[in-house]
Every structure is written in structure tokens, then in C-alpha cells.
Structure 1
């Protein structure tokens, strides 16, 4: 697996795993994920998740 691996298409995450991921991200980084942000482009790979979290952290700091 690398940063570009498609997590859902490769079967690495299922719906329960996604719920756990969201909980982890919110509690670890102190961010809140809005319903409108649950789109594939934000969570499809490790790189996408990292970019999304960085964006949320930047918005939180502003």
C-alpha cells in the first residue's frame, strides 16, 4: 500500500472502518467533519486524507 492506494476500491476500508477513521481524525486532530465533506475525493487515499486534514487544520487556525 502507498499514499495513492484507493482505500475503498482495494477493500482496505469498509463502512465500519470509515466510521472509525472519522472518529479517529476528529478526536486526534480536533476537527469536525461536516456531512457535506463526506465525499470520495477527501477520503479515497492516504494522500487525500492527509490533504483534507491539513486543509481542516488550516481553516481551524484561521
Structure 2
């Protein structure tokens, strides 16, 4: 499931995937500039969740 989600994020241009030719296999993921544009949206959802949890909503 995680691999599928990462593949979709990569296909959407939100993350980069770098594969290293090593044993054991190594893969690194990083956020793209396009991916960084989602940070305010995620922060807003987090703030809403915290307010909901605290009974402020």
C-alpha cells in the first residue's frame, strides 16, 4: 500500500525518487517544489483537526 501511494505521488510530481545501486537496495524520497505547494493545505487540515479535538469546533 505504501509503495503504491509513493508511486502515485511520484507520478503526480509531488515527490522525487532516487534509487541507489547498492546491496541492500536503497531508495530516497524528497519533496518537489510542486509538492511544497501542498504544505499550507496540510497545515490547515492539521489546525482544523487540533481545533476539533480540543472542542473548539
Does TM, scored on the shorter chain, surpass 0.5? Answer: no
Greater Cα radius of gyration, structure 1 or 2: 2
TM range (shorter): 0.3 to 0.5
TM-score (norm 1): 0.33
Which structure is higher in helix share? 1
TM-score (norm 2): 0.36
